[in-house]
Structure 1
Amino acid sequence: MKWKDGDRQGMVNTKNKYFTASELKDALKKFKADQDDVSAAGQQKLKNVKDQYRSYDELKDILQQMHVDVETDTEIMQKLLLAYTEEGSSGDMRLHVLTELEYHVHQIDNAQNLIELGGFQLVILALNDSNSDIRAEAARVLGAAVQSNPKVQIEALESGAVPTLIRFVASDSSTAVRKKALYALSTLVRHFPLAQLRFLQQGGLSCLAQLFGDPNATTLRIKAVTLLHDLMVEQINVENLSPDNPTNMEKKKQYEKVPLLQMMVEAGWCQLIPTLLDSPDHDTREKVLRAMITLFTPCHNDYKSTETQQHLSVLRGEYQALVVEEKPEDSGDDYFSLLLSLVDEISTKMS
């Protein structure tokens, strides 16, 4: 028995529970024949639908006829450099160029290509521009280009970037320039022992120490301590590398030439770092506590000062109270417990 419900149709075997294979074949033939009988309207409907769309071959021809001008990053940087050096280029235009370059040089290949294009020297020259906005942006480009990019780090070192950046951090009239210069200096010296040695030789530690006497350099002081702590940890990690690997041994030789810890102690950093314990910011306190722990062996006598002990005592009481508040929430965040453990670690070492 045949049945039909709108566009749906089928057959029901009224005599048995199922169709045999031959019965199914016959049914399919009948359905096909029925559809062929009504194909005139169906074919017209199909034609109307097809007329609304282009065929694959038509689309292929159209795409081949189209001329799409796609520029590579290198070509874009070339145009930017031309715009920067064009005679009569305004300060706004040069600032725009540097901003665009900063976006591109985050990619390692682009940063290296910038050297080949001569753009890296342009950035170095821009560091000394009379316009403070351009100086700041040039430092930002430099920091982005050298980050985790050994080839560009070497180029920056050979171009004299280290003493220039140190000078800006210490004495530039613009706070924005000083911040960007410290950022560039940080990315340049990280994981680059030769640049770290140059930083020490050029008075980098004295420069950063001067920030502690500047009432307007709170953020810079924190960033300076963070940088020095990271460099100390970097040296410790290299010291703990397995001696079985020749590459590890070469790294150790390079870092042995960088007397960071010794020069920090001589420059008075054992007294300077604890002064930041009174910061109201927990993140800053964490960085300071970690730096104090890393420096503990050569600095423990300086940590015995009454002022430092008072700061640690205040922090212990504050974090003990915050830990009690932290526990009932059961949020899985034991941040204040971590800070309390850092305070206790220093106190334990002192006892």
Structure 2
Amino acid sequence: MDKLLKWAVLNSATANEDAPATTQPRPDHQKLDPAIIDHILGKDESVLMREAMAVIQNPNLDWEAKEIAFEDLELLVSHIDNANNLVPLQLWGPLMDLLQDPDPRMRSNAAWILGTSLQNNPKAQRRFQEDLATPMVEGGGGLLRVLPLLQADQPVAVQDKALFCISAYVRQFPPGLQQLIELRGLEMLKLVVEDPARAGKLKRRIYFFLATLLNGADTYGPTLAQRLRKDRYLELLVEQIPQLLEAGELDTLDHALRLLVALHDHDASLSLAKTLKENPALWQAIQKIGQSPARDGISEDVWDKIKSIL
């Protein structure tokens, strides 16, 4: 027993001898490398947005780096909170300025990002509207800067993204449509459709955009229909529908017919039956569609309305 007690005493350690301390000093977080924290937790999205814009604006970087930065920024602003942060982060003005950049790729991507930020975002739409109404606001311009991107001297890719931006601005935002009308934007869209050098895909999107506006907005559908009549869209459709059928551009034909039907639905002074009978080439084209495989390329809801008067 005495030997056992002696062994226990000799092998007992105290905190002041060789026993390990029960507590360790806490690390000083202020000394941690911020890069390590970012790697672990991920950067704040506002930081990522600023970094993307810095790459886009850097004249020493190649297009590949800028393209990736545009894609990253577009993905970020697809979230409405990030889209609304473009102004406080002072990124809205630079984006608006890029709409006038000498490089068409910069103009196209700037319109793309702005369009994404405007989609279903009343706050951003009002901001875009204010930029038009008060040019002294940072980045002022709104539609005044986007509409020139529809002109014939612009590449198709630029026109396409400009249309996307305009569409995102005016949908479900009547003041935006009113501005588009006042600035003769509908006439500019018509010029794009009439241009034989423009791609069918772009024309198809314009027809779809206008038909969607007419069919989805009871509050201003009649006003838009009257304006389209004034800008001679009916005459345009009467001329182009037979041409589209002859060229076999069935997707564009489908959207042109949809716009034709929508225009008559929202303008009480028009009769689709009368329009067809007064325009033999259009009437013959409609009959030919019903008797050929082209019929399969026309949407059922559109064809049902046309078929009812055949």
Structure 2-normalised TM-score?
0.73
Matched, 1:307 2:281: yes
Mapping for residues 95-244 of structure 1, pairs under 5 Å: 95-159=67-131, 160-217=141-198, 218-236=200-218
Mapping for residues 280-299 of structure 1, pairs under 5 Å: 280-296=248-264, 297=268, 298=270
The Cα of 1:226 is off from its aligned counterpart by 0.6
1:130 and 1:114 map into 2 onto residues whose CA distance is 23
Are 1:222 and 1:284, in contact at CA under 8 Å, matched by a contact in 2? yes
From 223, 231, 249, the counterpart of 1:267: 231
**Corresponding residue number in structure 1 for 2:135:** none
The Cα of 1:221 is off from its aligned counterpart by 1.6
**Bigger proportion of residues as helix:** 1
Are 1:143 and 1:185, in contact at CA under 8 Å, matched by a contact in 2? yes
Mapping for residues 61-100 of structure 1, pairs under 5 Å: 67=37, 68-85=40-57, 88-90=59-61, 92=63, 93-100=65-72
**Corresponding residue number in structure 2 for 1:44:** none
1:107-139 CA-to-partner distances (Å, cap 9, x unmatched) read 111111112101111111001001111111111
1:341 and 1:114 map into 2 onto residues whose CA distance is 41
1:118 and 1:76 map into 2 onto residues whose CA distance is 14
Q: Percent identity?
A: 23
Task: Provide the aligned length of Structure 1 versus Structure 2.
Answer: 255
Are 1:157 and 1:195, in contact at CA under 8 Å, matched by a contact in 2? yes
Counterpart amino acid of residue 256 in structure 2: V
Higher mean C-alpha displacement, 169-178 vs 76-85: 76-85
1:152-192 CA-to-partner distances (Å, cap 9, x unmatched) read 11112222221322221123432211111111111111111
The Cα of 1:69 is off from its aligned counterpart by 4.6
1:224 and 1:299 map into 2 onto residues whose CA distance is 23
1:226-279 CA-to-partner distances (Å, cap 9, x unmatched) read 11101101223xxxxxxxxxxxxxxx4xx48x8211110111111222423526
2:159 and 2:304 map into 1 onto residues whose CA distance is 35
Matched, 1:346 2:310: no
1:163 and 1:157 map into 2 onto residues whose CA distance is 10
1:294-322 CA-to-partner distances (Å, cap 9, x unmatched) read 222526343330111011011000159x7
| Distance of aligned partners of 1:100 and 1:198 in 2 relative to their CA distance in 1, 3 Å threshold | same
Are 1:286 and 1:339, in contact at CA under 8 Å, matched by a contact in 2? yes
1:155 and 1:201 map into 2 onto residues whose CA distance is 18
Counterpart amino acid of residue 136 in structure 1: S
Counterpart amino acid of residue 302 in structure 1: T
Structure whose CA Rg is larger: 1
Structure 1-normalised TM-score?
0.65
Are 2:204 and 2:251, in contact at CA under 8 Å, matched by a contact in 1? no
Counterpart amino acid of residue 96 in structure 2: I
Counterpart amino acid of residue 345 in structure 1: K
RMSD between aligned residues:
2.8
1:154 and 1:137 map into 2 onto residues whose CA distance is 21
1:348 and 1:288 map into 2 onto residues whose CA distance is 18
The Cα of 1:338 is off from its aligned counterpart by 6.9
Counterpart amino acid of residue 111 in structure 1: A
2:258 and 2:83 map into 1 onto residues whose CA distance is 33
Q: Which runs of 5+ in 2 are unaligned?
A: 1-25, 132-140
Q: Which runs of 5+ in 1 are unaligned?
A: 1-60, 237-251, 323-335
Matched, 1:316 2:290: yes
